[in-house]
Structure 1
Amino acid sequence: MAGRIPFASPTRRQFLQTAAATTAGLAVGGRSLIAADESAKQDSPESLVKVLYDSLSESQKKSVAFDWDHEDPLLGTLRNHVENNWHIVDQTIDGNFYTSDQKHLIRQIFVGMINPEWVERFDRQLKDDAGGFGKQQNIAIFGKPGEGKFELVITGRHMTMRCDGNSAEHVAFGGPIFYGHAAKGFNEKSGHPGNVFWSQAQAANKVFEVLDGKQQQVALVKESPIEQRVDFQGTGGKFSGIHVGSLADDQKSAVQDVLKVLIEPYRQSDRDEVVACLNKHGGLDACHLAFYEDSDVGNDKVWDNWRLEGPSFVWYFRGKPHVHCWVNVADSPEVKLNSA
């Protein structure tokens, strides 16, 4: 069923060859980084990560550049960590640590990771939650761009995003990601007015509406799981909610619409990789969809907490007291999660 989504998945080799080709075509010598960035607008964000990395001074690298598998004493492998509100390093993007050219490059990398139609909505979320892009966000670079595996990680309140050029094996998005929004304060009202991600829950609730009475009883679960619990259960997992593979064709189509809405905010290559990972273990037919009864904001029977889960796929939307979304997608359930 997931194969009906009209995204063609490039192979890992093809993606890496493209990234390598664009990176090889960049040359900063004698030009400002702004000029280099302007000429590279059509290049991948990964190629711009190399431009950024090459521009960092040695003192800057000591603060924000790490070995690929750098270990933090508290958080474990720092590159793989994810939380709802954290700072991977102390230096903010919009502070005095980076030059204006470097800040511009970081912004271009961020924009390149997003569906162009979603840039304004991400900016709205950042303004509401953190005062605007860069005000409370941080970046760290792992590995050496252009010399092997590398990944840039952006963190901050309600955001963990990754740009890796498929260096991180087996995973979509370069590893687990997080997004959220508290549009009208910490405790949002029914309907989550102004929340840029609420449309995802509306799509999921449309699925609930097309289920019959018995199916709704199966799909509705009493208690929400801990929000950070998005590690993989594998093919033998005990999943809550209703089995998507058991649904009628029109109901499956509604679940497919949910998946499209979930991956819509991100660039095409990441969307493709999510679908490829999902198809590796049975597609949406192998997933379960659960709605949680204990977290109904406003008692309106529009379920604010819900979860779409398969053997190596977890998308957990938690809308109470405001939106938190935990995402973990891979092509193998053996991939371990590193979260708070």
Structure 2
Amino acid sequence: MAQDNRNVSRIETLSRRQFVRAVGGAAAIGGLAPFVGLGTGAARAAVLGEGPSPKSAAETAAGRLFESLKPEQREVLCFSYDDPLRKKINANWAITEPTIGELSTEQQMLVEDVVRGVTSPEGYERFRIQMDQDSGGFEEYHIALFGEPGTDAFEFELTGRHLTLRADGNSNPGAAFGGPIVYGHGQGDSTKGLPGNVFYYQTVKANQVFGALDGTQRDLALVDNAPRETAVEIQGEGGMLPGICLSELASDQKELVASVIRVVLDPYRAEDVEEAMAVIEAGGGMDALHMAFYKEGDLGDDGEWDNWRIEGPTFVWHFRGAPHVHAYVNIGKRA
């Protein structure tokens, strides 16, 4: 019980820190809010960055992990880069049978280095709490490696209950995070406010946008039924996007949506965040995004919309907050 209380205290501290950072205005969300004034070509790349590389911390650790594997381990954990397993996503699955806990101590430390490398310090702490509470710890998760380090086709992937993380060194150009990812947390299941859930603060932040909408805007933004949570295929230009188009919003309302995007991206490393922002900008920026809130799954029937979605031609962030959090993310160019 004492450990649970410490976890809740850490979660609350992180949430306050996230909130203060997010509501600090356009300057605090580092270029994401306006999506203007970034220029084009080299100027924009200098501001936004081009994502991770094979020399990034996570990819370097993944390469060392690959080299440490014994032949019998490679037979189980390693696949060709084109293996369809790499593209599968699910909120609760084992990409390979062995758990991280079955690796050697050195290999477990290398996996942890990869996880630290693809997350921000606060994100790492959130994910470790989530893994402890959902599955009994980091050691109960699973990994796979695709391709070979040192080439332009290599990816590390971690999966398990409520979590998929990737490190690809930009082997998949134009796809943030190396491809679709998943996160979630089972705490507070079916209970209003999801007590103890490390991602509930994202629901609170998203609902600030709904609170800032006028009546006509709310009619456009509020949708009866949500799509399947796994329905995060990139639609590209001309796609059927749910909710209100952000071009219909005033500048201060757009800044609120931008702050939501910054908050949900914040658990991840800066290189992936920068690439995600560049991909959104390449897809038309803020004015090409839509935001939808779903009546379905309103815990407590309180009008705090637990299920919501932000989507554009190159961006899908589907947040299902009821009965507990499952979030599916896909940011990239249409294949």
TM-score, reference length from structure 1 = 0.84
Equivalent AA in structure 1 for residue 322 of structure 2: K
Task: Trace 1:251-270 onto structure 2 (pairs within 5 A).
Answer: 251-270=253-272
Equivalent AA in structure 1 for residue 159 of structure 2: T
Instruction: Choose which of 303, 311, 314 in structure 2 pairs with 1:312.
Output: 314
| Cα separation, partners in 2 of 1:240 and 1:11, compared to 1, 3 Å | closer
Q: 1:165: which partner in 2?
A: 169
Instruction: Choose which of 97, 106, 128 in structure 2 pairs with 1:90.
Output: 97
Equivalent AA in structure 2 for residue 10 of structure 1: G
Counterpart contact for 1:182–1:188, Cα < 8 Å: no
Q: 1:122: which partner in 2?
A: 127
Task: Trace 1:1-340 onto structure 2 (pairs within 5 A).
Answer: 1-3=34-36, 8-11=47-50, 15-16=52-53, 19-20=54-55, 44-70=57-83, 77-95=84-102, 98-135=103-140, 137-184=141-188, 187-330=189-332, 332-333=333-334, 335=335
How far has the Cα of 1:170 moved from its partner?
2.1
Distance 2:205 2:180 in 1: 22
Indicate the SS of the match to 1:151: strand
How far has the Cα of 1:9 moved from its partner?
2.1
Distance 2:181 2:37 in 1: 25
Give 5+ residue unaligned stretches, structure 1: 21-42, 71-76, 336-340
Equivalent AA in structure 1 for residue 35 of structure 2: A
How far has the Cα of 1:178 moved from its partner?
0.3
How far has the Cα of 1:246 moved from its partner?
1.3
How far has the Cα of 1:169 moved from its partner?
2.3
Report % sequence identity: 43
| Cα separation, partners in 2 of 1:3 and 1:176, compared to 1, 3 Å | farther
Indicate the SS of the match to 1:225: coil
Distance 1:211 1:4 in 2: 26
Counterpart contact for 1:55–1:102, Cα < 8 Å: yes
Counterpart contact for 1:234–1:312, Cα < 8 Å: yes
Give 5+ residue unaligned stretches, structure 2: 1-33, 39-43
What root-mean-square deviation, in Å, do the aligned CA atoms of Structure 1 and Structure 2 show?
1.7
TM-score, reference length from structure 2 = 0.85
Per-residue displacement from partner, 1:225-267 (whole Å, max 9, x unpaired)? Answer: 1111111222111212111111001101100110110100000
How far has the Cα of 1:166 moved from its partner?
0.4
| Cα separation, partners in 2 of 1:3 and 1:65, compared to 1, 3 Å | farther
Distance 1:101 1:259 in 2: 36
Distance 2:68 2:193 in 1: 45
How far has the Cα of 1:11 moved from its partner?
3.1
Distance 2:36 2:274 in 1: 11
Q: 2:16: which partner in 1?
A: none
How far has the Cα of 1:4 moved from its partner?
7.4
In terms of fraction of residues, the more helix-rich structure is 2
Equivalent AA in structure 2 for residue 149 of structure 1: A
Distance 2:213 2:303 in 1: 14
Q: Which moved more, 1:240-249 or 1:301-310?
A: 240-249
How far has the Cα of 1:118 moved from its partner?
2.1
Distance 1:237 1:54 in 2: 43
